[in-house]
Amino acid sequence: MNLLLKKLFLFPSLFLIISCSAPGGNDNTTVLIKTSLGDIKVRLYDATPFHRDNFIKLIHSGFYEGVSFHRVIKDFMVQAGDPSTKTVSGSILPDSIKTYTIPAEFNPEYFHKKGALAAAREGNDVNPEMRSSGTQFYIVQGVKLNDSDLITAEQRINGSIKQALFNKIIIATADSVRQSGKPISDGEIQAIASTKMFQYLTNNPDYKIPEVQRNIYKTIGGVPRLDGTYTVFGEVIEGLDVIDKIASVSTDIDDKPLNDIKIIKIKILNK
């Protein structure tokens, strides 16, 4: 699957499940992404060490040289990192989104504002742990939102929270029953899951976009509906105009640019 997602099942409460800090304090690594349409300077977050270290490893290996931005959607994001978009020694490499993943690292401080660097992944139906693609990433363009847009986003997020959590409870309940060896019908599994879901809803209020983030979404822009389900591991500090330029190119029905946009090189500026 070369898509960022086929289905959106948003679960912002998972922000609190995985939030880790790495040694080194605020010494965030800065990298330069040189593309055929211009340069983008990005800061990698130390608080997402799996993604940071994986990205640095790929940079050192030269992996990204010659990789294309294969999915571009104006007012949404630009995506790259699929090794199948470059030819190596006459052969096409497999799509990494299925074959190489790393654990999610959700952090409530990092969200999908314009310029956010995040990891692509497969959808929740085949990837319930929301693990990230090892190589594919996207950079958010998004749009500026108003209060009405943000209310709609919150409603969509909360509806998806309940759907995603119920699916998770169903799977966990079925697995538990199967391990116990006790015969039980699908209806009984549904009833147990419904009770657990009711308990969750009773004790957990609806998710609200924090006020600081609301202001950024209104003044800078972004894509709040992705928050909490895709790992944000960095942000653009120079070159937002290049993101706008890439996002504005003509694409086909699969969102692939008609004219190839290549990553020439990614290099580390400091570490």
> How does DSSP assign 44-69, residue by residue?
EPTTSHHHHHHHHHHHHHTTTTT-BE
Query: Average of pLDDT values for 230-252?
Result: 97
3-state class (DSSP) for residue 113: strand
Higher local confidence (pLDDT), 216 or 199: 216
Which residues, at least 6 apart from 24, have a Cβ–Cβ distance to it below 8 Å?
46
- Whether residue 38 is predicted with pLDDT greater than 70 in this model: the reply is yes
- Model-wide pTM > 0.95: no
Higher local confidence (pLDDT), 94 or 53: 53
Query: Average of pLDDT values for 61-73?
Result: 95
The CA distance from 174 to 187, in Å, is 11
- b/e burial code for range 178-207 (CB count within 10 A of at least 16 → b): eeeeeeeeeeebeebbeebbeeeeeeeeeb
Residue where the block lists tokens 């790393």: 102
CA 204 → CA 162, 193, 200, 219, distances in Å? 11, 16, 6, 30
- Whether residue 97 is predicted with pLDDT greater than 70 in this model: the reply is no
Residue where the block lists tokens 């270290």: 53
Q: What's residue 108's pLDDT?
A: 84
pLDDT digits over 71-88, tens only?
A: 999 999 999 999 889 865
pLDDT digits over 145-178, tens only?
A: 999 999 998 887 777 667 777 877 888 888 887 7
- Whether residue 34 is predicted with pLDDT greater than 60 in this model: the reply is yes
- Whether residue 271 is predicted with pLDDT greater than 70 in this model: the reply is no
What is the H or E stretch that residue 86 is in?
Answer: none
Q: Which of 4, 12, 9, 5 is nearest to 167 (CA)?
A: 9
DSSP-derived secondary structure for 225-266: GGTTTS-EEEEEEE-HHHHHHHHTS-B-TTS-BSS--BEEEE
3-state helix, strand, coil in the chain (%, to 5): 35, 20, 40
- Whether residue 15 is predicted with pLDDT greater than 70 in this model: the reply is no
Q: What's residue 20's pLDDT?
A: 38
Higher local confidence (pLDDT), 134 or 16: 134
Band (pLDDT 50/70/90 cuts) for residue 98 is low
Q: Which of 31-35, 106-110, 202-206, 240-244 has the lowest mean pLDDT?
A: 202-206
What is the H or E stretch that residue 167 is in?
Answer: helix 147-180
Q: What percent of the chain has pLDDT over 70?
A: 84
131, 121 in Cβ contact below 8 A? yes
- Whether residue 94 is predicted with pLDDT greater than 70 in this model: the reply is no
Torsion of CA 94, 99, 102, 105, to 10 degrees: 80
